[in-house]
Structure 1
Amino acid sequence: MNLSHTVKAFDELTIYELYDLLKLRSEVFVVEQNCVFLDQDDKDQKCHHLMLYEGNHLVGYSRLVPPGLSYSEMSIGRVVTSPEGRGKGYGRILMDLSIQYCHQFLGDGPIRIGAQTYALGFYSSLGFVSDGEVYDEDGIEHVEMIRQN
């Protein structure tokens, strides 16, 4: 397993990194999940972007969202693993790194996410607990979850 990762603020991303992360998000969130939505929501510019690579191929991505942008707490969003990277434990590695870098870049405090309901068990295993009712976001069931320090 030849994994590496990088975390960058939006204005530090190369055009190739930006292209790759937007392509991966579209491949999974729009095409695979058959969900028509505007992915570019004007939040990326204020976030840090975590990219997980196998060799030089982007296999995972998340954005680290500062408090007050999506929720009053800091957040991890747009969590995605490439179809080729699934079943290899990359999602857990990606989330462990995301939690670590949230605290490094955004400080101490709880982390809130909007999780797709099919992934509740996964996020629970990382210390997140459901916090609210199930809601529909772009035709997919979600629930907010929170993780204390």
Structure 2
Amino acid sequence: MRQAHHEMIVPTPGQGLHEITREVVSWVADTGIATGLLTLFVRHTSCSLLIQENAAPAARRDLERYFTRIAPESRAYEHDDEGPDDMPAHLRAALTAVSLSIPVIGGRPALGTWQGVYLFEHRSAAHRRRVALHVIGE
């Protein structure tokens, strides 16, 4: 049994789904692990990770609009230390996930045909997000 780890930096220009599939697939291939389990973990509280449709941009836009409706920016939140997008970002992260587990088969994450891995940025400003990757297997 072997394992490998890596931290990738994901620059985000602001809110939205930012695909990181290519970078994740490339890193897994470089580890030489053919069969195992990949874990991704975003080291922040105002963004999240998703596996989502990667073929139709409308699906991502609809998802982004949905989260804007259920957790709108507002000065009405008690926690607004960094502005009106602060607490909504935490709410959106709480409703999604900060980690993902993906089987590795044949040296690649076992994603479906239309699945992509995304960092979901919930803040309005640009950020540099840190994502920890860990794979274990043989």
TM-score (structure 1 length as normaliser): 0.26
More strand by share: 2
Larger C-alpha radius of gyration, 1 or 2?
A: 2
Higher relative CO (CA 8 A, sep ≥ 6), structure 1 or 2?
A: 2
TM-score (structure 2 length as normaliser): 0.28
More helix by share: 1
